[in-house]
Amino acid sequence: MSDCLDESILSSPRLNILLDLPVHDEYQPIYWPGQSINGRLQVQLDSPAKVFHLRIALYGSVQVHGKEPGSPLNGGLFDYQKNVKLINRGIHIMKRSEKKQGDHISFEGIPDFRQSIMSEEKNESPIPCEEQDQPKKKKGKSEQEKQTERLIKLIADTDRDHDRSHGILTSNNPSQEFIVDKSRTFDLDAATHNVRFSIHIPTSKNLPGTFDHPHYPIAYRLVAIMTCSDLEKNETLCYSIAKLRLEHSLSARSAEFCSHIQSPQTSIFVADSSNVLRNVYGFLVARSPSLLNSSSEIFCPQLQGYLELPTQAFARSEQIQLKLVLINTSCNFAISAITIKAELVQKILMTCGFGEVTEHKVIMQRNIMFGNPQESIALGGPHMCFDLSALLQVPDDCISSILSESTRDVFSLEYDIATTLEIEGWINKKKDTAKKDMSQMVYHAHEENLIDTPPKNTQNKIHKTYSMELSLPIVIGN
């Protein structure tokens, strides 16, 4: 098949998709999975025509490409180029078979096709009709259905840059694109005809929402096609496209995300002793905690930290109830200040290629300080909990997480809470004994704890600074 899109042909016939929701130049109508897309398919004819095939479908796809569609995305371990169909279903509009009554086309006012004479294929939410065909058992797609889906994909992919468009698809013999059932063809007069349609958006397909990205676009369009001939039997295959937006359906209140989560514990050895052998042992234990024997009389001074959240998922504008727990098992190291850099990190992973991270960006950052590194006043308690909830919030314009299974394992969009700790303090030359009182001291972050940038270290002979990195994956939904 040799096809090309030609929008310069504005002569009859012409298709146009008119949605019930308002459409503006800079606004695309928004739908949710489970809703129906309602509207009119307008057929404009300057002369009488015989219609062989008339269809409108919802087409969605996920793509990965470089600077231009059709070029690979490179720069990582592999080159990536994907174009995967997410949905391609709709309504085939045709005349009832001869055995049914009401097999004629009738109009009301501005000619409207009555839904009673239309039948549907591959639509999950049928339009109410006066007569319904008996449901058929699901069977494999016919060659005509496969060819029609390929044609719809060709139109949607080729004319992807426009929100709305129409034109003629040139072909040597348009009627050969379909296996035509002459009993289902119908004649139309020279006029403007309107066909009501309703296409249900399924929830069972776990469709991802629209994602406007130069390299990883997820897009949805209505595509209408019509094959017809005039009185001189000149055949035409015309099309119309209307772009729409699908909202992300991932719920932040889903039961699978409601459980408490905690990051793995990170340990840092604190060299607070002049005993070389003890310091070496402590360093090894901090690197490999499995070496630590609870019955051992040797005490290993460490800084231990982890993050915890009461739930894994959060909605836009919601406070992130993050707590950072820090345990100081050294009796000789007194902490004077803790600086926390907390970031909400968005990353795209190519799940079609070993999960390589191909995009990484920080969409929210906070620098928070507790205590004062210039003062010799220790933060109280060896077991400290820093509640950062009041200062961390999901941005209003944050994109929902995109699960790999919803993109047919092409890519996933994920989020991490990444924190970096700078722990400052000084060494007290005391006897090396374990701290007995490990009751937790809770610190709540407020606006006065925010700082523009982390302070520069001002170490002297007795001051020490330790760094620790902690991260925890989260899900952002609706």
pLDDT at 183: 66
**Largest Cα–Cα distance of the chain, in whole Å?**
105
The predicted pLDDT at position 384 comes to: 92
Same fold, 14-95+144-246 and 261-285+300-450+459-476: yes
* Closest among 366, 368, 372 to 343, alpha carbons compared: 366
> Closest Cα to residue 417, out of 341, 326, 317?
341
DSSP state letters, 402-464:
B-GGGGTSS-EEEEEEEEEEEEEEEE------------EEEEE--GGGB-SSPPPP---SSEE
What single letter denotes the amino acid at residue 422?
A: E
Query: Could you tell me the pTM of the whole model?
Result: 0.80
pLDDT score recorded for residue 114: 35
Residue 99 CA to residue 353 CA, distance in Å, equals 54
Note the pLDDT of residue 210.
96
d(CA 412, CA 353): 11
Can you give the residue ranges of every domain in the chain?
14-95+144-246, 261-285+300-450+459-476
Output the pLDDT for position 471: 97
261-285+300-450+459-476 CATH: 2.60.40
Place of tokens 């020279």: 190
Domain 14-95+144-246, CATH class in plain words = mainly beta
**Structure confidence at residue 375 (pLDDT):** 67
Which residues in the chain show pLDDT less than 70? 1-11, 25, 96-139, 170-183, 272-299, 373-377, 429-438, 453-462
- pLDDT confidence of residue 428: 75
